[in-house]
C-alpha cells in the first residue's frame, strides 16, 4: 500500500518496492512480473537501496527511526539498526562498505558499517537533510538539506593520520538555492547538480573542491535531475511547469525545455541512453522522450529531444527504475 521507492538488483532479475502505507518491501520477479515475497519492515519506510553485489537491501524507516537490512537471498530482515530522527534515505556506497542515512528531523546523518551492521558515526549537518549522493570512489558524501538551502560535504573513511580520529567528518556546508531537494551526480564523480525547488534553479558543485560554481534558472519547481552516461547532458524535471529542462554541462547553459505531463517528478535514462522516461505524478503516466536523433546537426535544436509516446501507469506514480535483464551467466542482455 502506498508504494514510494523502487530499486533493482544488479545481480539478478528482481525489483524491490517500498510500501510506506503497509510498512513492507515487495520483491518482484522481473521476468514473470509477479510479487514473490512481501517482507515486513519498520514504520513508514520511504526508500530502498541495494548493495553493489546484490546481496542486501537497506531501507530507511522514517516512522520508527531505524534502518532495516534485508538479506536478498533468504528474503528476510537480518538486522534492524537504530538511527537518528526520521530517516528518509539510506544510500549504499559504491564499494558496498558503508550506508549513509539522512535523518530529516534530526538534522544529522548516520554512517553504517555494513560488515558490522552497526552505526560507526553520527554527524550533525544542516537542516532537514533529504537526498544523499556518494562519489564513485566512496571517499565523500554530499547531503541536500531542504530546510537550510545548503548541501553538506562529508569525508568518508578518513585515514587515521587525519586530525580527526573519527572515520567520517563534516568538511563544509555549501550555500545553494532555496529548498534543495535532490542531487544529481555525474557518472565520473566530478560534479553534482542540485535541484533547488524553491528557487527554480540548479546549483553546480565541484566535488573535489567542495565549491559551488554557480546557479542557473532551469524551470518552475525543479525536483529531480539525472546526468547522461557521457557526462554531457543534465535532464531536470520541473514539477510546477510540466517540463523537462535540458542543460548542457560543457556549455553551462540550457538547451531548451520539453513539455511533458502534469507534475513531472522521477526520471530515468535507458541503458543505451536513447530514451528518457519521465514520471508524471499528476497525470498518472510516463512520458518517453527520444534522446538520440540521427544527423543532429541538421535538426533544429528544439527537436533534438522529441516526445515519443505517453504511457498510462496509474494514479500518482512517484518513482521509476530500469532493469537490465541478466542471462543465466549473469551478463546483461542487449
State the Cα–Cα distance between residues 322 and 320, nearest whole angstrom: 7
Residue 286 lies in a domain: no
Residue 42 lies in a domain: yes
Contacts (Cβ under 8 Å, ≥6 apart) of 116: none
Q: Averaged over 229-242, what is the pLDDT?
A: 96
Q: Are 106 and 84 in contact (CB under 8 A)?
A: yes
CATH number of the domain at 159, please: 2.130.10.10
State the Cα–Cα distance between residues 152 and 176, nearest whole angstrom: 10
Residue 247 lies in a domain: no
Per-residue confidence (pLDDT) for residue 295, from 0 to 100? 43
State the Cα–Cα distance between residues 222 and 236, nearest whole angstrom: 6
Average pLDDT, the chain: 91
Residue 152 lies in a domain: yes
Residue 117 lies in a domain: yes
State yes or no: pLDDT of 222 exceeds 70. yes
Lowest mean pLDDT among 106-115, 137-146, 155-164, 275-284: 155-164
Per-residue confidence (pLDDT) for residue 332, from 0 to 100? 45
Residue tagged 556549455 (cell numbers) = 251
State yes or no: pLDDT of 42 exceeds 50. yes
Burial tier of 301 (Cβ tally within 10 Å: 0-12, 13-18, 19+):
exposed
Taking only the tens place, the pLDDT of each residue in 131-178 is 999 999 999 999 999 999 999 999 998 655 445 556 899 999 999 999
Residue 168 lies in a domain: yes
- Provide the domain limits for residue 124: 3-239
Q: Averaged over 222-238, what is the pLDDT?
A: 97
Per-residue confidence (pLDDT) for residue 167, from 0 to 100? 83
Collapsing DSSP to helix, strand or coil, 98 comes out as strand
From its phi and psi, is residue 177 left (phi > 0), alpha (psi between -120 and 50) or beta? beta
User: Within the chain, what is the greatest distance between any pair of CA atoms?
Assistant: 58
Per-residue confidence (pLDDT) for residue 334, from 0 to 100? 38
Residue 74 lies in a domain: yes
Residue tagged 546526468 (cell numbers) = 227
DSSP letter, residue 326: B
What's the residue count for the chain? 334
Angstrom CA distances, 280 to 96, 147, 176, 239, 313, stand at 32, 25, 26, 9, 10
- Within 13 Å and on the Cβ side, how many CA atoms surround 27? 21
Higher-scoring residue by pLDDT: 283, 333: 283
Total structural domains within the chain: 1
State the Cα–Cα distance between residues 117 and 81, nearest whole angstrom: 8
Residue 293 lies in a domain: no
**Residue 142 is inside which H or E element, if any?**
strand 140-145
Amino acid at each position: 500500500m502506498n508504494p514510494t521507492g523502487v530499486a533493482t538488483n544488479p545481480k539478478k532479475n528482481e525489483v524491490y518496492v517500498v510500501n510506506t502505507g503497509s510498512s513492507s518491501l515487495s520483491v518482484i520477479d522481473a521476468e514473470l512480473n509477479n510479487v514473490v515475497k512481501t517482507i515486513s519492515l519498520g514504520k513508514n519506510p520511504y526508500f530502498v537501496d541495494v548493495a553493489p553485489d546484490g546481496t542486501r537491501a537497506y531501507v530507511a524507516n522514517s516512522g520508527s527511526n531505524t534502518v532495516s537490512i534485508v538479506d536478498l537471498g533468504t528474503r528476510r530482515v537480518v538486522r534492524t539498526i537504530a538511527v537518528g530522527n526520521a530517516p528518509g534515505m539510506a544510500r549504499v556506497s559504491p564499494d558496498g562498505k558503508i550506508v549513509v542515512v539522512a535523518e530529516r528531523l534530526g538534522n544529522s546523518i548516520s554512517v553504517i558499517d555494513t560488515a558490522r551492521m552497526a552505526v560507526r558515526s553520527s554527524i550533525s549537518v544542516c537542516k532537514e537533510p533529504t537526498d544523499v549522493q556518494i562519489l564513485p570512489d566512496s571517499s565523500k558524501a554530499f547531503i541536500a538539506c531542504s530546510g537550510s538551502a545548503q548541501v553538506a560535504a562529508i569525508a568518508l573513511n578518513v585515514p587515521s593520520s587525519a586530525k580527526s580520529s573519527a572515520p567520517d567528518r563534516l568538511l563544509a556546508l555549501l550555500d545553494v538555492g532555496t529548498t534543495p531537494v535532490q542531487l544529481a551526480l555525474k557518472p565520473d564523480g566530478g560534479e553534482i547538480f542540485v535541484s533547488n525547488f524553491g528557487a527554480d534553479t540548479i546549483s553546480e558543485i565541484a566535488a573535489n573542491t567542495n565549491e559551488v560554481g554557480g546557479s542557473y534558472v532551469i524551470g518552475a519547481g525543479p525536483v529531480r535531475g539525472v546526468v547522461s552516461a557521457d557526462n554531457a547532458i543534465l535532464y531536470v524535471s520541473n514539477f510546477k511547469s510540466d517540463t523537462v529542462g535540458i542543460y548542457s554541462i560543457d556549455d553551462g547553459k540550457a538547451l531548451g525545455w520539453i513539455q511533458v505531463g502534469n507534475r513531472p517528478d522521477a526520471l530515468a535514462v535507458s541503458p543505451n541512453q536513447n530514451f528518457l522516461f519521465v514520471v508524471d505524478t499528476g497525470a498518472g503516466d510516463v512520458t518517453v522522450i527520444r534522446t538520440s536523433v540521427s544527423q543532429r546537426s541538421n535538426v533544429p535544436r528544439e527537436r533534438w529531444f522529441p516526445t515519443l509516446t505517453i504511457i498510462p501507469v496509474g494514479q500518482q506514480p512517484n518513482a521509476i527504475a530500469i532493469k537490465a535483464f541478466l542471462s543465466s551467466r549473469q551478463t546483461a542482455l542487449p
